[in-house]
């Protein structure tokens, strides 16, 4: 499977693809930065500090949800309503396939009950990307209703911002997720993601970002998440719900209003961005498989690497390796005409 020639896309906006690329890299970093084990030297972060730094990348799923809603609405504007069910069925195929693969790989068949099969392996807990499918299934089925609501509040975007921050503040600091069934459902129910979907729908109609930030501010905005965690010590069971994650996501998403096109990007970089942006769903599905296989091989060897700076370089190397392996496997799957398993 070859990447389309960039000269044909030179006038196409690259902003959304860049955000998708950054977000999928963040997903892989969160899941797989530990792939190659290291022993911290005196100049390195220890694992606890690395886990803390990972939290800066929690904007990844909110950004994906916003961009998904944006393009869903763009399609609805162009082709009319009624495509949600078709997309639902199209998404169901990779969900069933990859959930079956991971079920066979990680299920403990000696202690398996029907209840455990359903609750653990098919409702968002079976593998590290499965919950994203569960969220999208709900949003697809409810998209017509959500967009109807969104379009009736298009004049109140600043109020939506404020209410969303208050909403995420409440569910984070009221210990909401420590309540029985609410905690078990975690952040899988659709309504936790409604602010992103509503804003994504509205952005498809007009520029809702009446603010802009210097590039440096956009780049360092994820530090806001770390600041909230460090100073306010919120419960981290459902870290995607932090108010700082919402604010950081908005700052990053505001860059979509830039005029950056593929014609402004060096071709080698543009090809990489386009590949990762086009393969986000496939990488979501396959990166746990790469991590499971390689982690198993690494554990058998029992090796651990130690050199100054390893705590920074090895997670980056791990992330690049996983993304590269995913792209190779996605291309192979497409070559054997099973692209529906990895198609965005």
For the segment 6-20, the average pLDDT, to the nearest whole number, is 76
What does the block give as tokens for 311?
A: 């705590």
Vertex 46 angle, CA 40 and 49, to 5°: 155
Q: Tell me how far apart the alpha carbons of residues 262 and 264 are, in angstroms, rounded to a whole number.
A: 5
Question: What was the pLDDT predicted at 8?
Answer: 54
- For residue 137, what pLDDT band results from cuts at 50, 70 and 90? very high
Give 186-215 pLDDT, tens digit per residue: 999 999 999 999 999 999 999 999 888 999
Query: What phi and psi values does residue 12 have, to the nearest 5 degrees?
Result: -75, 135
Residue 59 backbone dihedrals phi, psi, to 5 degrees: -70, -10
pLDDT (tens digit per residue) in 278-307:
999 999 999 999 999 999 888 888 777 777
Could you tell me the pLDDT band of residue 9, with boundaries at 50, 70 and 90?
low
Query: φ, ψ for residue 38 (rounded to 5)?
Result: -140, 155
Q: Is 40 left (phi over 0), alpha (psi -120 to 50) or beta?
A: beta
244-263 pLDDT per residue, tens: 999 999 999 999 998 888 88
84 pLDDT band (50/70/90 cuts)?
confident
Q: Quick one: tokens of 145? A: 């209703």
pTM (two decimals): 0.92
From residue 110, give the alpha-carbon distance in Å to each of 69, 85, 88, 120: 41, 37, 33, 15
Q: Are 106 and 288 in contact (CB under 8 A)?
A: no
The pLDDT of residue 3 = 41
Measured torsion, CA atoms of residues 231, 52, 272, 134, in degrees rounded to the nearest 10: -90
Higher pLDDT: 344 or 139? It is: 139
Question: What pLDDT, on the 0 to 100 scale, is given for residue 107?
Answer: 84
- Reply yes or no on whether the pLDDT at 2 is more than 50: no
N-terminal to C-terminal alpha carbon distance within the chain: 15
Beta-ladder partners of 38: 305
pLDDT at res. 125: 85
For residue 275, pLDDT over 90 is answered with no
């Amino acid at each position: 499977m070859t990447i389309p020639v960039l000269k044909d896309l030179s006038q196409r906006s690259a902003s959304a693809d860049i955000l998708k690329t950054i977000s999928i890299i963040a997903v892989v970093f969160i899941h797989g930065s530990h792939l190659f084990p290291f022993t911290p030297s005196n100049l390195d972060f220890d694992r606890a500090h690395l886990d803390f730094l990972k939290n800066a990348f929690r904007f990844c799923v909110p950004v994906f949800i916003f961009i998904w809603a944006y393009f869903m609405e763009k399609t609805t504007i162009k082709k009319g309503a009624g495509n949600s069910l078709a997309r639902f069925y199209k998404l169901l195929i990779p969900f069933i396939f990859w959930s079956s693969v991971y079920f066979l790989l990680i299920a403990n068949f000696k202690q398996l009950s029907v209840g455990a099969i359903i609750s653990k392996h098919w409702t968002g807990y079976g593998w590290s990307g499965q919950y994203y499918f569960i969220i999208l299934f709900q949003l697809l089925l409810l998209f017509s209703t959500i967009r109807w609501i969104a379009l009736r509040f298009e004049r109140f975007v600043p109020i939506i911002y404020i209410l969303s921050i208050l909403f995420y503040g409440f569910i984070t600091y009221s210990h909401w997720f420590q309540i029985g069934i609410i905690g078990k459902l975690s952040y899988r129910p659709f309504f936790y993601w409604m602010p992103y979907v509503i804003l994504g729908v509205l952005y498809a109609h007009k520029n809702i970002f009446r603010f802009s930030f210097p590039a440096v501010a956009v780049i360092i905005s994820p530090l806001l998440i770390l600041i909230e965690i460090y100073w306010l010590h919120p419960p981290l069971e459902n870290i995607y719900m932090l108010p700082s994650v919402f604010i950081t996501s908005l700052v990053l998403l505001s860059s979509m209003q830039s005029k950056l096109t593929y014609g402004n990007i060096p071709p080698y970089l543009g090809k990489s961005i386009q590949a990762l942006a086009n393969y986000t769903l496939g990488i979501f599905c396959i990166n746990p498989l790469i991590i499971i296989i390689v982690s198993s091989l690494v554990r058998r060897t029992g090796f651990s690497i130690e050199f100054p700076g390893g705590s920074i370089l090895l997670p980056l190397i791990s992330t690049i390796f996983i993304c590269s392996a995913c792209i190779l496997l996605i291309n192979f799957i497409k070559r054997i005409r099973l692209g529906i398993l990895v198609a965005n």
